[in-house]
Amino acid sequence: MVLSGGVGTRIFRVCNHIFLIALALLCILPLVQVLAMSFSASSAVAAGLVRLWPVDFTLKSYVYILKNAQFLGSFGVTLQRVALGFLINMVLVVLTAYPLSKGVQAFRGRTLMVWLFVFTILFQGGLIPSYMTIRMTGIMDSVWALVLPGAVQVFNVILLLNFFRNLPKELEESAFIDGAGHWTIMSRIFVPLSLPAMATIMLFTIVGHWNSWFDGLIYMNKPEHYPLATYLQTLIIQMDFKNMRTEDAYLLAEISNRTSKAAQIIIGSLPILVVYPFLQRFFVKGIVLGSVKE
Amino acid sequence: MLSGKTRRELPLYLMLLPGLILIVLYQYVPMAGIAIAFQKFTPFKGWFGSEWVGLDNLRFALALPDAEQVIWNTVYISAMKIAAGLVVPLAISLLLNEVTRTVVKRGVQTLIYLPHFLSWVILGGILIDILSPSEGIVNQALQAIGFKPVFFLGDNRWFPYVLVLSDVWKEFGFNTIIYLAALTSINPVLYEAAVIDGASRWKQTLHVTLPGMLPIIVLLATLSLGNVLNAGFDQVFNLYSPVVYDSGDILDTMIYRVGLVDAQYGLATAFGLMKSAVSFVLISASYWLAYRYAHYRIF
């Protein structure tokens, strides 16, 4: 048994390694092909010569995109929304999670308050009423329409409040005895001790704001105010020629649709591709800690 | 004067205040805004000036010939996604668990988590290119081995399955995280006992690993119940076109078109209300079941 098990196990292990590595490569292969196309000459792409490596290497597609005023403008809008959204989301998630992590003895209104937040996961007004609310609060066509409606992420609040509740009670009690108030305990004890959970939420918040495109599409009246993701959506997916000025159309013809789209896809995902490997260990830890409870 | 207890609670209420204001404004006001479903709504007259029409919008919505097809598409696509989303990550996490080389394990995990962090705009753009019937690399490969090219995104026979498969591509890696965490929490003593009893790796998987994973499988299955009407707006919106409305149009995309493109606000809100109401029941039921049978509490 030991012998056959040994051989069988070894064969399985080799096959398993091969299968998983092949699967992992298959997952990023489409991205690699698009990357190769973005650096290739449009004629080579049109002739179907590009596989996984650039053919007739050129940076023309990138030059075209980076010269495009609308692209740079949208990039600015995205930077603005990511910075502002990140700040607001992080402040609010801490401010909301801290009181809700208290027991009923310390915070008598806790049950009602927690349900007020959780209920929004169970039931939503839906697209049209939300859209009308934004219209009527007068924040259409401004960065606030991209930042305020999603400012309180209830799932993140729950993740953080569960994390807070697993911190040792003694820390808080001794701080109280030493005369610290809630604000001090929150900022000096709870936040520093919750870095894995905070890092996870930070990553999700930044990625979420970077990737959001639909809110830009419906709340922004002018294409100049689109964040990058929305601009890319109209360009890559819709190819809406109405949004394009004539000189853009000429340039586009010169470098071909496919290479420029490929370059745009790469630029749109670049920040995530760069940041992601460094944050991986945080989010895995954070997710696991948030999901495991006593 | 305030009592001592109230004074100690005051900062807690102050902390909650900004979040509460925002959630009331952008979550509870829209809930009240569902009134649009019972109005002949025009933005210019607002909620208080628009004419009330009772159940007309709901009746009209249900009588629409497309409604039945769209609801069917939604449930069909999301049911397949839920099933695939439970099984594929489970299988991959079991295989990953057998990998003993840390470098290989880390590398594979890094690559398979990645698509989760890219938006459907990016992934949609990639799919549109590689699946293109004339120039896409997938169809070039198919032709090279003697098949006819397939218009994956323009053929009703293929479109729903392209949705499911590409959803698996985006999410399966990320969903292994929870399973892998559950795997590490299985008591190693159980494996030692199984080895002493002469169980092979396969038998160990069957009799120790899977039973140990059962609670988390049950929990994830239960919680996914709440997503039955969420077939994935972002994905469908970025991949579909009028040619595949028959098989790929879902509730959310239809609500968008009816409401924000055609400006039939009352009708779109009526569909939205039906979706929200059914989802409310499903999500509540799923949390209740998870609490009852898996001792799971969200907070």
Q: What band does B4 get if pLDDT is binned at 50, 70 and 90?
A: confident
Query: Does the pLDDT of residue A5 top 70, yes or no?
Result: no
**Residue B97 domain flag:** yes
- Give the sign of the dihedral formed by CA B75, CA B81, CA B87, CA B90: negative
Burial code (b: 16+ CB inside 10 Å, e: under 16) for A43-76 equals: ebbeeeebeeebbeebebbbebbeebebbebbbe
Query: Does the pLDDT of residue A292 top 50, yes or no?
Result: no
pTM of the model: 0.89
Which amino acid does the sequence have at B229?
L
How many contacts, defined by CB atoms under 8 Å, are there between A and B? 262
Which of A8 and A18 is assigned the larger pLDDT?
A18
The domain in which residue A198 lies consists of 60-294
> What's B81's domain CATH number?
1.10.3720.10
A52 and A64 within one domain: no
pLDDT of residue A293: 42
Contact between B37 and B55 (Cβ < 8 Å): no
- Cα(B238)–Cα(B127) distance, rounded to whole angstroms? 10
Distance, in angstroms, between B124 CA and closest chain A CA? Answer: 7
The overall average pLDDT reported for chain A is 86
Question: Which of B13, B22, B233 is opposite residue A148, by nearest beta carbon?
Answer: B22
Is A238 part of the contact surface with chain B (CB cutoff 8 Å)?
Answer: no
pLDDT digits (tens, 9 = 90+) for A100-113: 999 888 898 899 99
Domain boundary among A20, A41, A58: A58
**Residue B192 domain flag:** yes
pLDDT digits (tens, 9 = 90+) for A76-86: 999 999 999 99
If DSSP codes are grouped into helix, strand and coil, which group holds residue B243?
helix
Best A51, A128, A140, A281 residue to mutate vs chain B (most B CBs within 10 Å): A128
A91 and A13 within one domain: no
pLDDT digits (tens, 9 = 90+) for B162-216: 999 999 999 999 999 889 988 988 889 999 999 999 888 889 999 999 999 998 8
If DSSP codes are grouped into helix, strand and coil, which group holds residue A240?
coil
Query: Considering only residues 170 to 229 of chain A, which have any Cβ-Cβ distance to chain B shorter than 8 Å?
Result: 181-183, 186, 207, 211-214, 218, 229
pLDDT digits (tens, 9 = 90+) for A40-55: 888 888 777 888 888 8
Domains held by chain B: number: 1
If you average pLDDT over residues B144-148, what whole number do you get?
Answer: 90
pLDDT of residue A141: 92
Question: Which of A128, A207, A268 is opposite residue B259, by nearest beta carbon?
Answer: A128
Query: Does the pLDDT of residue A252 top 60, yes or no?
Result: no
Domain boundary among A29, A58, A87: A58
A266 and A281 within one domain: yes
Distance, in angstroms, between B150 CA and closest chain A CA? Answer: 17
Query: Whole-angstrom distance between the N-terminal and C-terminal Cα of chain B?
Result: 34
Q: How far is CA A76 from CA A83, A112, A229, B114, B218, in A?
A: 11, 41, 12, 25, 45
Comparing CA positions, the residue from A122, A125, A136 lying closest to residue B35 is: A125
Q: How many other C-beta atoms are found inside a 10 Å radius of the C-beta of residue B136?
A: 22
Query: A51-60, A238-247, B63-72: which range is least confident on average?
Result: A238-247
| Continuous segment of H or E residues that includes residue A239 | none
Q: What band does B88 get if pLDDT is binned at 50, 70 and 90?
A: very high
Q: How many other C-beta atoms are found inside a 10 Å radius of the C-beta of residue A40?
A: 25
ipTM for this prediction: 0.90
A241 and A130 within one domain: yes
A182 and A66 within one domain: yes
If you average pLDDT over residues B65-72, what whole number do you get?
Answer: 92
> Would residue A179 be called left, alpha or beta, if left means φ above 0 and alpha means ψ between -120 and 50 degrees?
left
Q: How many other C-beta atoms are found inside a 10 Å radius of the C-beta of residue B201?
A: 17
Question: Which of A27, A106, A114 is opposite residue B112, by nearest beta carbon?
Answer: A27
- Cα(A21)–Cα(A39) distance, rounded to whole angstroms? 26
Question: Which of B33, B126, B276 is opposite residue A265, by nearest beta carbon?
Answer: B126
- Which long-range contacts does B210-217 make (Cβ < 8 Å, 24+ apart)? B212/B182, B212/B183, B212/B185, B212/B186, B212/B187, B213/B90, B213/B179, B213/B182, B213/B183, B213/B186, B215/B182, B215/B294, B216/B178, B216/B179, B216/B182, B217/B86, B217/B90
pLDDT of residue A288: 64
**Residue B274 domain flag:** yes
B chain contacts of residue A21, beta-carbon cutoff 8 Å: 104, 107-108
Domain boundary among A41, A58, A75: A58
If you average pLDDT over residues A112-124, what whole number do you get?
Answer: 94
In sequence order, the 6+-apart residues with CB closer than 8 A to the CB of A210 are A78, A82, A228, A229, A271, A272
The domain in which residue B70 lies consists of 66-118+159-294
Query: Considering only residues 23 to 62 of chain B, which have any Cβ-Cβ distance to chain A shorter than 8 Å?
Result: 23, 25-34, 36, 43, 46-47
Q: Which residue of A has its CA nearest to B120?
A: A211
A chain contacts of residue B8, beta-carbon cutoff 8 Å: 106, 182
A154 and A44 within one domain: no
Query: Considering only residues 55 to 114 of chain B, which have any Cβ-Cβ distance to chain A shorter than 8 Å?
Result: 92, 95-96, 98-101, 104, 107-114
A254 and A165 within one domain: yes
Which amino acid does the sequence have at A49?
L
Domains held by chain A: number: 2
pLDDT digits (tens, 9 = 90+) for B271-288: 999 999 999 999 999 999
**Contact across the interface for A131 and B260, Cβ inside 8 Å:** yes
> What's A148's domain CATH number?
1.10.3720.10
pLDDT of residue B1: 52
In sequence order, the 6+-apart residues with CB closer than 8 A to the CB of B197 are none
**Residue B106 domain flag:** yes
If DSSP codes are grouped into helix, strand and coil, which group holds residue B39?
strand
**Contact across the interface for B121 and A98, Cβ inside 8 Å:** no
**Residue B207 domain flag:** yes
**Residue B182 domain flag:** yes
A153 and A292 within one domain: yes
A87 and A193 within one domain: yes
Contact between B61 and B212 (Cβ < 8 Å): no
A66 and A31 within one domain: no
A177 and A146 within one domain: yes
pLDDT digits (tens, 9 = 90+) for B90-114: 999 999 998 988 899 989 999 999 9
- Give the sign of the dihedral formed by CA A152, CA A157, CA A159, CA A160: positive
The share of chain B scoring above pLDDT 70, in percent, equals 99
pLDDT of residue A4: 47
Which amino acid does the sequence have at A110?
R
A235 and A267 within one domain: yes
